[in-house]
């Protein structure tokens, strides 16, 4: 297939999926009811959620400095912060383009070689993936009985066990094949996995590794907390089990990768997760939309200001 067609599809398909999911979520709740939830929401908790989200972004920008310092670059916190906000904003247009833009901003304004800046971003993402997996493990541990009973009720246990054994067998066969194969795809996969491992291990070679680990945990702690706090803004959503918050947060986090910034997919993911706990449909979808809208508004405003202010902040260069 032509490379230009592939690039176009990579941009177009997430947008089309987002539009479909917007239609799907709005088919579950009328526009009038959704607007009413926006009107009656407690904006103290929404603003508090935005502040917690902002703290996570500030921490992310500060954490980046720990990675760049061992490479010999003393980067201004202002440039790091504006590059982070620009990343989020650009990812709303072209998925994953923000990371490239983030490294490019440091190249232009701080003289950090692109490949080095991008390498630190990859290592950062490895740390984020590890924490995300940790959150999933904690959630499974805390809600094991509930999740187990849910699947037993919804699915035939014999079929579930059989499917698990088949998937496990396929996974082991795939790992064995990748390990022994010398094909281009296998080599790329091995290179990618080795890069992830190397990136993860590089964290422990930093001078300020414990500060980096603290900020990583702080970032994700703020993510979970902003999700939890914002839930108090919606009438009819409380009381809500903390297990539902964790599962809803995990589903919402993965939804951001499905479409541009979680467009359409975010409220549907929240609705699907909350439905497991028999939480009412209307406030679940409304919460998803309010949560997504508040965080997106912050990114649009601060990301736009960052792109405008970067040349002014670095006018001497």
What does the DSSP assignment read for the chain?
Answer: --HHHHHHHHHHHHHHHHHHHHHHHHHHS-HHHHHHHHHHS-HHHHHHHHHHHHHHHHHHHHHHHHHHGGGT----HHHHHHHHHHHHHHHTTSTTHHHHHHHHHHHHHH---HHHHHHHHHHHHHHHHHHHHHHHHHHHHHTHHHHHHHHHHHS-HHHHHHHHHHHHHHHHHHHHHHHH--SHHHHHHHHHHHHHHHHHHHHTTSTTHHHHHHHHHHHHHHHHHHHHHHGGGSTTT-S--HHHHHHHHHHHHHHHHHTGGGTTHHHHHHHHHHHHTT--HHHHHHHHHHHHHHHHHHHHHHHHHHHHHHHHHTTT-
CA distance 87 to 204: 26
Say what the pTM is: 0.83
User: Whole-angstrom Cα distance, residue 128 to residue 47?
Assistant: 25
pLDDT > 70? residue 152: no
Q: 212 versus 196: which is more confidently predicted?
A: 212
Answer positive or negative: Cα dihedral of 162, 164, 165, 167.
Answer: positive
Which of 195, 200, 253 minimizes the C-alpha distance to 224? 253
Q: How confident is the model at residue 3 (pLDDT cuts 50, 70, 90)?
A: low
Residue 247, classified by CB atoms within 10 Å of its CB into exposed (0-12), middle (13-18) or buried (19+), is: buried
Mean pLDDT of 63-70: 87
Q: What is the predicted pLDDT for the residue at 220?
A: 95
Q: Are residues 110 and 82 in contact, defined by beta-carbon separation less than 8 angstroms?
A: no
Over range 61-75, report the average pLDDT.
87
For 81-90, the pLDDT digits (tens) are 999 999 999 8
Token digits of residue 121: 């971003």
Q: Above pLDDT 70, what percent of the chain?
A: 86
Band (92; pLDDT cuts 50, 70, 90): confident
Q: Is the pLDDT score of 24 beyond 90?
A: no
Residue pointed to by tokens 């396929």: 170
Q: Give 80's pLDDT tier (boundaries 50, 70, 90).
A: very high
pLDDT of residue 241: 86
For 167-194, what is the mean pLDDT?
A: 75
User: What's the mean per-residue pLDDT of the chain?
Assistant: 84
Mean pLDDT, residues 184-192 taken together: 72
Q: SS3 sequence, 219-234?
A: HHHHHHHHHHHHHHHC
């Amino acid at each position: 297939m032509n490379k230009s067609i592939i690039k176009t599809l990579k941009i177009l398909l997430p947008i089309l999926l987002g539009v479909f999911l917007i239609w799907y979520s709005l088919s579950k709740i009328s526009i009038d009811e959704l607007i009413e939830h926006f009107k009656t929401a407690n904006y103290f908790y929404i603003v508090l959620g935005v502040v917690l989200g902002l703290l996570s972004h500030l921490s992310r920008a500060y954490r980046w400095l720990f990675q760049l310092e061992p490479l010999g670059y003393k980067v201004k916190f202002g440039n790091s912060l504006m590059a982070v906000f620009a990343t989020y904003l650009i990812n709303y247009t072209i998925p994953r383009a923000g990371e490239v833009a983030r490294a490019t901003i440091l190249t232009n304004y701080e003289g950090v070689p692109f490949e080095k800046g991008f390498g630190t971003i990859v290592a950062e993402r490895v740390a984020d993936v590890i924490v995300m997996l940790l959150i999933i493990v904690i959630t499974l541990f805390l809600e094991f009985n509930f999740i187990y009973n849910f699947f037993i009720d919804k699915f035939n246990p014999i079929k579930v066990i059989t499917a698990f054994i088949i998937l496990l067998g396929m996974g082991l066969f795939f790992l064995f094949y990748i390990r022994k194969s010398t094909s281009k795809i296998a080599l790329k996969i091995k290179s990618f996995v080795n890069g992830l491992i190397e990136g993860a291990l590089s964290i422990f070679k930093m001078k300020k590794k414990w500060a980096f680990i603290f900020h990583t945990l702080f970032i994700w702690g703020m993510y979970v907390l902003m999700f939890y706090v914002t839930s108090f803004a919606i009438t009819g959503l409380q009381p809500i089990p903390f297990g539902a918050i964790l599962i809803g947060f995990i589903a919402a986090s993965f939804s951001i990768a499905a479409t541009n910034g979680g467009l359409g997919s975010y409220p549907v993911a929240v609705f699907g997760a909350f439905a497991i706990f028999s939480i009412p449909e209307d406030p679940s979808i409304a919460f998803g939309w309010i949560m997504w809208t508040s965080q997106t508004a912050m990114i649009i405003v601060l990301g736009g200001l960052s792109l405008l202010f970067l040349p002014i902040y670095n006018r001497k260069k």
